[in-house]
């Protein structure tokens, strides 16, 4: 069997992150989303095909031609749009395991499914079927039809976009006609497939993590760090460091005296945490960062080569690469009226269902000293602020 991983799209809902990287390369805790998926399936396949398009060179440079000795090839989705177009013209030689690159699944679910000899799709019951591709099944869980985002209720079993087919699905995809949106939809190929072969609907047992919006990065970060059962200390901890839960401290990372850590945290290589720093609530800090004296970081994700200067507060926030946070940077994460934080996504005001969400600062930004921000603000790539600025 070979895996086909769909990783071609930009992910416009995740801007500004996807301004510089493709969506599957957004890091969640210790690796990109795409690598989490490869880690889940590589033992069960003999070949991995990654379908690429947007900023494909970033994916190719990261993974090269294999993952843990399983060969990787790249299939460029060039002219046609849609999920059927993504798998058109891939070599038709083996059973195929098809999945999207933007959802992280539990290994135990995949290991169970990999043992089945029959063809299957992974599904979940949903309360808003109009948002999903919905499967109609018979009494034995055999799929009879898939309906894309039905207006009227037909059933509540939604596709999680992870399938096992034989290679006939590729041939059927090549015959698909464009939809009203002028996209080539794999749902049309699936409806043809179930006329030829039995296809089982298997309901997911464990949790899965969707990364659709920027705030999903923090919930995904929290979900994965919550699974950390014991600490892994690979480098230096000075005297009087207080660690209340579990952490991963990678090589050449240093925790200096009087650091206090609550809840599970992840600290990557070459990072230095200076005295009197307070880390809490599932925070991940990436490669070559410096968190200076008396900084508090809570429930946040901080990417490579980022410096946070003294006396700053970073709560419920996402920071990109190569950022310099000036001394005494304070961000507000709670509206005075205590309503949910709403965020514009593709020009539509979207409810995050969060009461606390601070700021996104993306690559190559610098903030002046003694700056602050209102709840839910974005600093786009290469932004600079003056000393004393309030980001409104």
Which of 290, 240, 246 is closest to 260 using CA atoms? 240
- For the chain, give percent helix, strand, coil, nearest 5: 20, 35, 45
How many whole angstroms from its chain centre is CA 344?
A: 19
CA distance 378 to 365: 11
Measure the CA–CA gap between 351 and 341, rounded to whole angstroms. Answer: 6
Question: Is 254 within 8 Å of 272 (Cβ atoms)?
Answer: yes
CA distances from 143 to 13, 96, 166, 190, 203 (A): 31, 18, 15, 10, 12
In this structure, the strands spanning 157-165 and 120-125 are antiparallel
Residue 310 bears catalytic tag: yes
Q: Which residues lie below 8 Å from residue 264, measured CB to CB, with a gap of 6+?
A: 225, 226, 228, 245, 246, 247, 282
Ranges of H-type helices in the chain: 33-41, 56-63, 83-87, 107-114, 168-173, 186-196, 214-225
Residue 203: Cβ within 10 Å count: 12
**Which member of 44, 239, 310, 336 is catalytic?**
310
Please identify every residue annotated as catalytic: 310
């Amino acid at each position: 069997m070979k895996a086909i991983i769909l990783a071609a799209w930009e992910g416009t809902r995740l801007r500004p992150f996807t301004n510089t990287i493709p969506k599957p390369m957004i890091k969640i805790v210790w690796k990109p989303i795409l690598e989490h998926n490869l880690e889940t399936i590589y033992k069960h396949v003999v070949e991995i095909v990654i379908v690429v398009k947007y900023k494909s060179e970033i994916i190719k440079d990261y993974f090269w031609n294999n993952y843990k000795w399983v060969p990787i090839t790249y299939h460029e989705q060039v002219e046609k749009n849609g999920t059927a177009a993504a798998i058109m013209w891939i070599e038709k030689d083996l059973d195929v395991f098809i999945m999207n690159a933007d959802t992280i699944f539990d290994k135990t679910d995949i290991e169970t499914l990999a043992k089945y000899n029959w063809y299957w799709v992974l599904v979940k019951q949903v309360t808003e079927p109009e948002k999903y591709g919905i499967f109609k099944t018979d009494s034995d869980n055999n799929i009879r039809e898939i309906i894309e985002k039905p207006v009227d209720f037909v059933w509540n079993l939604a596709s999680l976009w992870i399938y096992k087919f034989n290679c006939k699905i590729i041939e059927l995809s090549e015959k698909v006609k464009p939809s009203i949106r002028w996209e080539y939809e794999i749902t049309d190929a699936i409806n043809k497939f179930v006329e030829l072969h039995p296809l089982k609907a298997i309901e997911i047992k464990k949790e899965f993590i969707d990364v659709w919006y920027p705030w999903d990065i923090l919930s995904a970060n929290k979900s994965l760090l919550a699974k950390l059962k014991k600490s892994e200390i690979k480098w230096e901890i000075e005297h009087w460091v207080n660690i209340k839960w579990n952490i991963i401290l990678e090589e050449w990372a240093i925790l200096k005296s009087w650091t206090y850590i609550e809840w599970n945290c992840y600290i990557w290589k070459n990072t230095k945490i200076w005295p009197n720093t307070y880390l809490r609530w599932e925070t991940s800090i990436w490669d070559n960062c410096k968190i200076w004296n008396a900084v508090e970081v809570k429930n946040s994700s901080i990417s490579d080569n980022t410096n946070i200067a003294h006396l700053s507060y970073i709560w419920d926030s996402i920071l990109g690469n190569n950022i310099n946070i000036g001394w005494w940077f304070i961000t507000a994460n709670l509206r005075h009226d205590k309503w949910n934080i709403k965020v514009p996504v593709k020009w539509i005001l979207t409810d995050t269902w969060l009461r606390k969400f601070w700021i996104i600062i993306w690559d190559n930004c610098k903030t002046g000293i003694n700056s602050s921000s209102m709840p839910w603000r974005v600093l786009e790539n290469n932004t600079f602020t003056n000393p004393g600025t309030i980001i409104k």
